[in-house]
Structure 1
Amino acid sequence: MKKVMHTDNAPKAVGPYSQAIQLGDFLFCSGQISIDPKTNEVFTGDIKTQTEMVMKNIEAVLATANLNFDNVVKTTIFLTSMNDFATVNEIYAKSFKEAPPARSTVAVAGLPKGVSVEIEVLAHR
């Protein structure tokens, strides 16, 4: 049975979707962008800070199901510019020390709220 997961430690949904859905041993997380969950303000500045905020938001969503980055099996990164690839990789890698998940990185024309990076994850218990 599917269970909607929610935490106030990650941004509220900016559309008709859930932060995450738990189905059996899997947690399907919606993409996270650089929104501060405390103020609900969007940060569109430097890519390093955006990525750090995104990873913190992902960590909070994973925690709602008592999971962490070690449980992540697949990620998808969306970038508005592949020029940001190296910087995003540097920040992203800090969360995956050993056995990093499978991953896709895609360049897109635009992302919600004018941000430069969005990351979604799939985790398994």
Structure 2
Amino acid sequence: MKQIIFTENAPAPIGPYSQAVLAGNTLYVSGQIAAELANSSDLKAEAKKVMENLGNILSEAGMSYENIVKSSIFLKNMDDFALINEVYGSFFTSLPPARETVQVARLPKDVNVEISVIAVK
């Protein structure tokens, strides 16, 4: 059985998908972006907003960043890796999740970063 997770405290889906799906004890969170900061040159603010969106969805499901076991980071430019890594890392004080980071040709709304996660209760 699956349960759709939705919060007003994160961007509404822009297509036929859910913000997150809880299946058993596992939460699959769709890639989050900071569309409102897409044209900003403040990449740190954009990454922080993405992480906050993820946190709001996790909270709606009764979880936190500590529940994340896997994340995927998609970057428009791999040259931004260190900056994104700094912001991302600030949300994990210990035992960070498994992760991959890849550069992609383009992201929705022309943002610089998109992050999806899998969390377990």
The TM-score normalised by the length of structure 1 is 0.93
| Letter matched to residue 13 of structure 2 | A
Following superposition, the deviation at residue 76 of structure 1 comes to: 0.1
Of all paired residues, the percent bearing the same amino acid is 47
Unaligned regions of 5+ residues in structure 1, if any? 36-41
Q: Once superposed, what is the RMSD of the aligned Cα atoms?
A: 0.6
2:37 to 34, 37, 43: 43
What is the CA–CA distance in structure 1 between the aligned matches of 2:58 and 2:13, rounded to whole Å?
A: 15
In structure 2, the partner of 1:16 is 16
Following superposition, the deviation at residue 110 of structure 1 comes to: 0.3
Listed one character per residue, the Cα deviations across residues 48-96 of structure 1 (whole Å, up to 9, x for unaligned) are 1110110010000001111000000000000010010000000000111
- Structure ranking higher in helix proportion: 2
What is the CA–CA distance in structure 2 between the aligned matches of 1:5 and 1:53, rounded to whole Å?
A: 19
The TM-score normalised by the length of structure 2 is 0.96
2:90 to 90, 94, 111: 94
What is the CA–CA distance in structure 2 between the aligned matches of 1:2 and 1:20, rounded to whole Å?
A: 10
Unaligned regions of 5+ residues in structure 2, if any? none
Task: Point out 4+ residue stretches in structure 1 off by more than 2 angstroms.
Answer: none
